[in-house]
Amino acid sequence: MRMPHHDRLDIAEIINFEKYPITGPDRSGRGVVERCRAELAEDGACQLDGFMRPAATQAVLAEAEVLSGKAFRTDATHNAYFTKVTARLTDEDPRAVRVRSSKRALGFNYCGTSSPLRILYEWDGLVAFLKDVLELPDLYHDADPVGACSVMFYDDGDEPGWHFDNSEFAVTLMLQESMPLKDL
């Protein structure tokens, strides 16, 4: 997302380090890491409300609104596992249940160099934090220039459709719940 009238932000202007001290030599973020691990173990997900500073969030939302017309629309029916349904399945089998996924997606290639979203995604400290939380030996940025990070738009009638991701984990940065962009 291109920010024509905005300079590149420092990571401290994007992440609320006072609330989430996830970096630093003193390991002051250890409590955040442990909390995330506990939530993942208990619920399979963890939530960091207010992780991004409000100004950075608003900048990403403004960029998304400007570029929303370039987003690619998908509308598909599938099962929760994204597998082919065979004739041998009964209606009670969860693999036979069909759900609808519809949305628009804007690829990472539209995310400009001064975008707070790009700065956050490319920041090595975020990778180190996630690696620590997930207790992974290695973790890297995705090199896909389009699919590394994407902005999803859910218009009236759109839905994500219940599914199990094919990846080991997913990071979702929800910047807006149900308020349309035009109402900001």
Token pair 């290639």 is found at 109
pLDDT of residue 167: 80
Q: Which of 17-26, 28-37, 53-62, 126-135 has the lowest mean pLDDT?
A: 17-26
Which of 132, 130, 182, 174 has the alpha carbon at shortest distance from 155?
182
Kindly report the average pLDDT of the chain as a whole number.
87
CA pair distance 84, 35, nearest whole angstrom: 38
Dig out the tokens for 141 from the structure.
């940025």
Sequence-distant (≥ 6) Cβ neighbours of residue 87 within 8 angstroms: none
Helices within 44-144 (DSSP H only): 54-67, 116-122, 124-134
Which of 85, 83, 75 has the alpha carbon at shortest distance from 160?
75
pTM over 0.75: yes
| Whether pLDDT at 10 is above 90 | yes
| Whether pLDDT at 81 is above 90 | no
End-to-end C-alpha distance for the chain, whole angstroms = 18
Helical pair 30-43 and 124-134, crossing angle rounded to 10 deg: 50
Query: Which is higher by pLDDT, 88 or 1?
Result: 88
Q: In degrees rounded to 5, what are phi and psi of residue 125?
A: -65, -35
CA pair distance 85, 64, nearest whole angstrom: 36
